Amino acid sequence: MTMAEPSRFLIACFAAFLCAALAPVLVLFGLGENAGILYYALWVTSAHAILFGLPAFLYLRSKQRINFISVICAGFAIGAVPSGILLWPLTFRDGTNAWSDDIRTIIDGVPTWAGWTEYAQVWLYFGGLGALGGMVFWLVQKLAGYSNGFHADVSVPRFTRYAGIGMALFGLVAAGTIFALPTITMDRSCHNMARDGRTSIKPKLHMALDIAMEDWPILTKITEDFGAAHSLSVRISGTTDSKALKSLYLSLCSEAGTNIDISEQRWASRNFAPLFPKGTPISIYEPNENPDTWPLARAFVKDIESAWPGKLKFLDPVGRLTSPPPELAAPAASPE
């Protein structure tokens, strides 16, 4: 063994663990997951590689059992066991009900056959991702000439013995890119009230509109027309219409610093009753102390009350009914 071999072995191990953590994340990327999911997924897979993969590698190495089959089996267990424990369906309490693609999976806290089938599929899915990580680990080690976890394989061409360095560099670049994705892809429009780094913001005005789901298209049209009339950016996102879930997400904002958010979810498990009994929540925010916020709020409230007289309720910070704030009153006319 040359003096350089221990260094190459450590680099090969580092590259193998890093690439094993990256492999499931790249699969999620191929499935079209967003940047936020990839970011957290890499943290999870990296933690699995360190907390479970490293002890498993050291154990198998001590037993001289590192080979293609053992590493894949270890990877499957590392992926399946923690997720299987975390998602064990018998932990639900009485009264819990759940659907998946309009199929009942939990009834009053008890998993149905479909629920157990879904659990098995999830268990196999995470186990498969773990097995993929194990396979990638072994392939990187083999490419670097250390497939047995010990000395370099002399049958491996000399130039591939330095592959660990290349794979380590690739892994570092890929991991750095994934960790940077939330920053790179962050929504910097006025719709993101946390774009300046703030972690919380309270609404200037909180309301609830007592309407049925059938009125959501009308509310959407009013919102779009109001945005066009007042030069506001309009975003209609995350709208869902399925047998299990009906949802509505509307956002209006100005770069000067006024945001109007409307959001509601209604689930089949609750017979599509409102989660918020008082009505569809509507909140108006003023992130940048914009002096035009209250004039915009007055105009928006006027449009809503014109469409649904008496259906708009005003709420205090803890959700109790309250009187309209004085700022909503029309300003007194100036004397001539």
Q: Is residue 274 part of a domain?
A: yes
pLDDT at position 108: 67
* CATH number (domain holding residue 306): 3.30.160.110
User: Of 38-42, 85-89, 162-166, where does mean pLDDT reach its minimum?
Assistant: 162-166
Read off the pLDDT band of 7 (50, 70, 90).
Answer: confident
Domain shared by 108 and 219, yes or no: no
**Cα–Cα distance measured from residue 79 to residue 41, given in angstroms and rounded to the nearest whole number:** 12
Q: Kindly tell me if the per-residue pLDDT of 332 is higher than 60.
A: no
294-303 contacts at long range (C-beta below 8 A, 24 or more positions apart): 294/204, 294/327, 294/328, 296/230, 296/232, 296/254, 296/258, 296/260, 297/204, 297/205, 297/327, 297/328, 298/328, 298/330, 299/226, 299/230, 300/226, 300/252, 300/260, 301/207, 301/328, 303/222, 303/225, 303/226
pLDDT over 90 percentage in the chain:
41
Domain shared by 173 and 209, yes or no: no
Q: Is residue 190 part of a domain?
A: no
Q: Is residue 333 part of a domain?
A: no
User: How many domains, the chain?
Assistant: 2
Is the pTM above the cut of 0.85? no
Q: Is residue 336 part of a domain?
A: no
Q: Which residues form the domain of 57? A: 4-184
Read off the pLDDT band of 148 (50, 70, 90).
Answer: low
User: Of 96-100, 133-137, 192-196, 269-273, where does mean pLDDT reach its minimum?
Assistant: 96-100
Domain shared by 254 and 163, yes or no: no
